[in-house]
Amino acid sequence: MGVATAKEVGVSPLHPKMERMPREELVGLQVKRLRETVRNVADHVPLHRARLAAAGVTADDIRSLDDLRALPFTVKADLRDTYPFGLFARPREALARVHASSGTTGKPTVVGYTARDLDTWAELMARSLAAAGARRGDVVHNAYGYGLFTGGLGAHYGAERLGATVVPMSGGATERQVALIVDFGARVLCSTPSYALAIAEVAERQGVDLRASALEIGLFGAEPWSDAMRTQIAARLGLRAVDIYGLSEIMGPGVACECECQAGLHGWEDHFLFEVIDPESGQPVPEGEPGELVITTLTKEALPMLRYRTRDITRLTTAPCDCGRTHLRILRVTGRNDDMLIIRGVNVYPSQVEAVLVGLPGIAPYYQLVVERTGALDHVTVEAEAAAEAGAGDYAKIANAVERHLKSLIGLTAMVRVVPPDTIPRSQGKAVRVRDLRPKAH
């Protein structure tokens, strides 16, 4: 297959100029689009209209990005409370599609798109694929779940927009995935990182060496994953493992993606405004400091979002990137506020435990954290799967070594239970990392 030239694919097939727009110009565009977004929600969404009125802000008050701070936050509960379509700024008849995520409790979160919103999404997903190194003419094997989850269709239309050949696999039937990756010559794999690992494992069992396949790039996201996991997946599949971020409430996959420099994920600032706040006080933190990511949409028609609190913990940088793109970078999302465990006063995210576990001798990269409560105290047991070569007689010794590493590297006092190979359930989408056995608050 002929390799497309740089001119043919550009840096993005769509708006290479946008990705390299000088920051001043970009900020000017954001202010203009923010004003339009505020007007859109004030005109069409009762909840936002009431909150803006209470805050005493109108669209015409938006003159610089500093005015963003006067705008009210939006939270996930706002979507639930107005279920199903109450935050939509367009009548149901104007929606081309809806997606939904099934929360653990109660009603799902429903999101909607006009035809133009879908067009923007395809463009940003294509831009993300291109930033990751995908090109027109590539075979893109898409193992994100199709359906109400935004991963499958989001990656699908982005890859089509890029001019790639899409293999719409969805998750599951892993042996078949392995065969088709090889037979169709996929250069790009899209899946969650945990499912990529499951694909690698099945291939190895079948005696198929995917490192020798045409695979070169993986776009992995939809769940937190550590650099240790990145190294594992890259080595076992023989590809460059690229981090892609997004969430349904804002759009779906393609809100931000790593470029070839892999030094953070470029957040597409012509369509979104990114802030990081202190989750307690709601105040912005200085650039580079960790906090909760807050996103405002700038071009969404059907579901515009004002200062949406993602609950994702990260850091931002506007420092220039070597790739030449001017859009800011989100440093790796370590976890969600909701997933943070407080164990004997120490805050830990499952991905931090993963970073310690994965790659340790005797341990396979499959794990779960079991959280329990005795009295007022939470404690955690880390269940880690033994590597195939570890003998059952070594489990206790390996567990001890892991316990010591967790204590010294992240300050976590946890019991480690090494379990036999194939005990931890394999993921087909987002992996379940925590089994929370604590009594429910209500």
Query: Smallest distance from the beta carbon of 170 to ligand DLL, in angstroms?
Result: 12
Q: Which listed range, 166-174, 201-209, 217-225, 295-303, lies at the site for ligand DLL (CB under 6 A)?
A: 217-225
User: Angle at Cα 409 formed by Cα 404 and Cα 415, nearest 5°?
Assistant: 40
Please choose, out of 48-56, 118-126, 245-253, 272-280, the segment that lies near ligand DLL by the rule CB under 6 A. 245-253
Integer Cα distance of 434 and 69 in angstroms: 35
Single out the residue of 312, 313, 385, 429 in contact with ligand DLL (rule: CB under 6 A).
Answer: 312
Q: How far is the CB of 374 from ligand DLL (least distance, A)?
A: 29
What is residue 17's DSSP assignment? H
Helix (DSSP H) and strand (DSSP E) numbers for the chain: 12, 21
Residue closest to ligand DLL, measured at CB: 221
* Burial of 212: CB neighbours in 10 Å, binned 0-12, 13-18, 19+: exposed
Pick 308 or 395: Cβ nearer ligand DLL: 308
What does each C-alpha distance from 188 to 130, 246, 288, 344, 363 come to in angstroms?
Answer: 11, 19, 31, 43, 28
Q: How far is the CB of 38 from ligand DLL (least distance, A)?
A: 24
Strands lying side by side in the sheet with 272-277 = 272-277, 291-297, 308-314, 335-336
Is the CB of 357 or the CB of 399 nearer to ligand DLL?
A: 357
Q: Which of residues 34-73 bind ligand DLL (CB under 6 A)?
A: none
Site for ligand DLL in 132-191 (CB under 6 A): 144, 149-151
- Min CB(316)–ligand DLL separation in Å: 15
Interaction of residue 248 with ligand DLL, rule CB under 6 A: yes
Q: Which two tokens stand for residue 147?
A: 């359906």
- Which parts of 152-195 are beta strand (E)? 165-168, 188-191
Beta carbon of residue 336, minimum distance to ligand DLL (angstroms, whole number): 5
Residue 258 lies near ligand DLL (rule: CB under 6 A): no
Task: State yes or no: residue 221 binds ligand DLL (CB under 6 A).
Answer: yes
Contacts 24+ apart (CB under 8 A), 13-16: 13/126, 13/130, 13/136, 13/161, 13/162, 13/163, 14/123, 14/126, 14/127, 14/161, 15/123, 15/127, 15/270
**112, 224, 264, 291: residue in contact with ligand DLL (rule CB under 6 A):** 224
Select from 123, 138, 223, 385 the one that contacts ligand DLL (CB under 6 A). 223
Stretch that binds ligand DLL, among 1-9, 244-252, 275-283, 421-429 (CB under 6 A): 244-252
Dist CA 62 CA 65 (whole Å):
8
- Give the H/E segment covering residue 364: strand 363-374
Q: What are the structure tokens assigned to 392, written together?
A: 């059952």
Residues 335 to 394 in contact with ligand DLL, rule: CB under 6 A: 336
User: Which residues of the shown chain bind ligand DLL in the complex (CB under 6 A)?
Assistant: 101, 144, 149-151, 221-224, 243-248, 252-253, 310, 312, 333, 336
